[in-house]
Chains A and B, each alone.
Chain A
């Protein structure tokens, strides 16, 4: 399958991930149980939307409901939430602590990819982060050098990263 189509095929969609996270957050105060109205407020959407989306989450075995229409994460849902939160934490740490992206932007960007990156990529990121923040003198030097590295594009607009198209220029022109 082409990679871009994997966004569509991803079992845990962005919306589903946020519903599960909202159930987790709301449920923290009520022994794991959440009301549809509280989930709707947490996500700033209507109760109708939450209710319809919960049907699909329930079918996939991520949530359970009781006779009073209270909702809680199933064991499978809890695992999904933990995985999403772990991926978000490591991506956010990487963006803010390694790439020096401002924290607010790192929060937004990590939220966008939290459910999309695979488990092996997430694990490798954790290993990489552990190396970078370790006491290894080489890691400390790499971080320090990157912090003080003032990148200048060569006049030829080619380098080992860009291969003929200046990626920095393209990103700046896009302005997204």
Chain B
């Protein structure tokens, strides 16, 4: 008998929501940025939108591989005025840290499932790198 994957799928749905919400945040952030660093920051956030969308898609594929359909629940209202690079990066760091913690939280629940475990470990590695990069920029 196949193990009940409902909880794992729920975890994956939550991870997908984190990624897609991050995508929307970075998308808006690009247009909130002002100041001399805007062009450099714009590129950073453009990469952020691309990567978060790729991550969300990778998670959706995992959900499909488990025989389920991705479900998305996002409650989000993005406001906020013009911002500078420092503030934008601080916000990005928060979002990336939470994504990293979310993947770490899921890891013990998928341990033993080779495909999912590999996937989550890879995501943890990528997110750890992101967090370190952003933290370095903020130093």
| A→B interface (CB under 8 Å) | 36-37, 44-52, 55, 69
Q: A37-B105, A55-B91 are in contact. Are A48 and B98 (CB under 8 A)?
A: yes
Chain A: CB-nearest residue to B99: A48
Q: A37-B102, A37-B105, A55-B91 are in contact. Are A49 and B76 (CB under 8 A)?
A: yes
- Determine if B74 and A37 form an interchain contact, defined as CB atoms under 8 angstroms apart: no
A/B pair count, beta carbons within 8 Å? 44
Contacts of B18 in A (CB 8 A): 46-48
Min Cβ gap B95→A in Å is 5
Chain B: CB-nearest residue to A37: B105
Interface majority SS (helix, strand, loop, mixed), chain B: helix
- Determine if B74 and A46 form an interchain contact, defined as CB atoms under 8 angstroms apart: yes
User: Of the candidates B73, B90, B94, B105, which one forms a contact with A48 in the assembled complex, judged by CB atoms under 8 Å apart?
Assistant: B94
| B→A interface (CB under 8 Å) | 14, 17-18, 21-22, 25, 73-76, 90-91, 94-95, 97-99, 101-102, 105
Interface majority SS (helix, strand, loop, mixed), chain A: helix
Q: A37-B101, A37-B102, A37-B105 are in contact. Are A48 and B75 (CB under 8 A)?
A: no
Chain A: CB-nearest residue to B94: A51
Contacts of B98 in A (CB 8 A): 36, 46-48, 50-51
Bound complex: CA A47 to CA B97 (Å): 10
Contacts of B22 in A (CB 8 A): 48
9 A-B pairs with least C-beta separation? A47-B98, A51-B94, A48-B95, A51-B98, A48-B98, A46-B21, A46-B18, A46-B17, A48-B21
Bound complex: CA A160 to CA B132 (Å): 68
